[in-house]
Structure 1
Amino acid sequence: MGLRKKKQRAETATRHSDGDGEGPRFGAPTGDWAVELRGVRRQYGRGTGAVHALRGLDLALPRGSFTAVMGPSGSGKSTFLQCAAGLDRPTEGTVRLGGTEITGMSENKLTALRRTRLGFVFQAFNLLPSLTVEQNVLLPMRLAGHRPDRRAAAAMLSRVGLGDKGRRRPGQLSGGQQQRVAIARALVTSPDVIFADEPTGALDTTTATEILGLLRSAVDGMGATVVMVTHDPSSAAWADRTLFLADGSIADRLERAPAAQIAERMTALTAAPAAYAGAAA
């Protein structure tokens, strides 16, 4: 997919936004979204002690796009990621990934979908120390019951700059190199969506920039879709758009914004999340 076409699709998604008291809404329902949440609520507990982690999210993220998700502590970022990736089930609403509704799927089908159509990158890398780098990259294929494609693993390791590290163990690599392996593992099955949870949180600034560049190039060069939760405005500035959560709702968004502007919005949102969400709606 060309960069111009992807940009037009992303702009189309944002032009369809409207406020309804729950925060901006993104996109109209179609079969061409990588991630689509409609009326998603997630409540923990009941009665007066209930916690409303998500309060009716409506959004659609286009394929081949990079979205950052930010918000104060307790705003619902982690719950959003878990529900969007099928790791948690919403109390109400529907979730679609690559056009497939996952809300009512059995656990077995959800597990199979995550192994074949989703990629994950975590702050802690989550590599298996007893396996080689190549074996870690091939793990999603093995878990899905597919024959490991060593050529695909080698090609992906080369893409992330680790073409000569396939036989090493994770413990022999730096933190930045281990995160590169995690990105190669996430990309090797050509997933519909890559979910990244604070992928640069354990890295120094220079290494973090390299990792974010890899995620950006995966979107621009491979047509990947990345959804990244982060607390860092500099990281969010690599994305096509930044969504701001507050009290379980989407409070605001920015398109292709610099780090300083993102930081300014986060400061305002953290200072008065309820008022800011109301103003954004």
Structure 2
Amino acid sequence: MAADWAVELHGVTRRYGRGGSAVHALRGIDLTLPPGTFTAVMGPSGSGKSTFLQCAAGLDRPTAGKVRLGGTEITGMKENKLTALRRTRLGFVFQAFNLLPSLTVEQNVVLPMRLAGRRPDRRRAAEVLAQVGLADKARRRPGQLSGGQQQRVAIARALVTHPDVVFADEPTGALDTTTAAEILALLRRAVDTQGATVVMVTHDPSAAAWADRVLFLADGEIVDHLDRAPADRIAARMAALATPAFTGAAA
């Protein structure tokens, strides 16, 4: 059954430009991720990590191939339907938090509901804020919070609609090591206790070590993966990606 997979990419390519100057950001990605899993995506600069995330999340359209999220094919979906799907069935966490400074913490958390035309569920907002340790901060504004607290708000916002998938783009990039570990523990807990599916792009082996599986991208292709690996092993594999001998390693 299609819904057995939270994320499916079949033959996904993404090309920018035409002819000899075309840039092939993704070269035929085939991937299925089951629900309730935490996947990290790593690779050298220019390997296609951001393009992969954008295509998988419906933020960019592939040049060829198909993308399904929670069993729903999004590849040819009209923009308004795709926008509605992103608001109700996907969650997003970015490096820069992307909170609206004029809104309270609670208002930021329920924003996906409001944008989807639904009545904001304050009880659900309180629930997710409690899960991220910010039950007492609902009436604060983002500017009154630390960076780590702001990212906790972003995670609460990402989880509030019970999304099929949470896409996280360098979610700990702007945080110190201790705070980063707290944020990653929250994402891990969302997977383990709530059945969330998390797909995270990161350059940090310590962050990737929280995932069930690490996928390695190079030149727009998935060239390797590691399951439940420690940070030092992930770092060694990343270093190997830079060596010519690695080209052609098994996926």
Alignment TM class, shorter chain as reference: over 0.9
**What amino acid maps onto 2:250 in structure 1?**
A
**What amino acid maps onto 1:65 in structure 2?**
T
1:202 is displaced (CA, Å) by 0.2
Q: Look up the match of 2:153.
A: 181
Residue deviations 1:141-161 (CA, integer Å, cap 9, x gap): 000000000000011101100
**Percent of paired sites with the same residue:** 82
Tell me the distance in 2 between the aligned counterparts of 1:220 and 1:279: 31
SS at match of 1:58: strand
Give 5+ residue unaligned stretches, structure 2. Answer: none
Give 5+ residue unaligned stretches, structure 1. Answer: 1-28
Q: Look up the match of 2:13.
A: 41
SS at match of 1:182: helix
**What amino acid maps onto 2:170 in structure 1?**
E
Tell me the distance in 2 between the aligned counterparts of 1:95 and 1:125: 26
Tell me the distance in 1 between the aligned counterparts of 2:212 and 2:34: 11
**What amino acid maps onto 1:160 in structure 2?**
V
1:276 is displaced (CA, Å) by 1.6
Count of aligned residue pairs for this structure pair: 251
Residue deviations 1:44-97 (CA, integer Å, cap 9, x gap): 011100000000000000000000000000000000000000000000000000
Residue deviations 1:179-217 (CA, integer Å, cap 9, x gap): 000000000000000000000000000000000000000
| Structure 1 residue ranges (4+ consecutive) displaced by more than 4 angstroms after TM superposition | none
Q: Look up the match of 2:246.
A: 276
Tell me the distance in 2 between the aligned counterparts of 1:169 and 1:182: 13
Within-5 A mapping of 1:22-101: 30-101=2-73
Equivalent residue for 1:117, pick from 89, 92, 98: 89
Q: Look up the match of 1:245.
A: 217
Q: Look up the match of 1:223.
A: 195
SS at match of 1:234: helix
Contact 1:67 1:243 in 2 (8 A): yes
Q: Please give the TM-score of this superposition, normalised by the length of structure 1.
A: 0.88
1:136 is displaced (CA, Å) by 0.2
Tell me the distance in 2 between the aligned counterparts of 1:95 and 1:280: 23
Contact 1:68 1:229 in 2 (8 A): yes
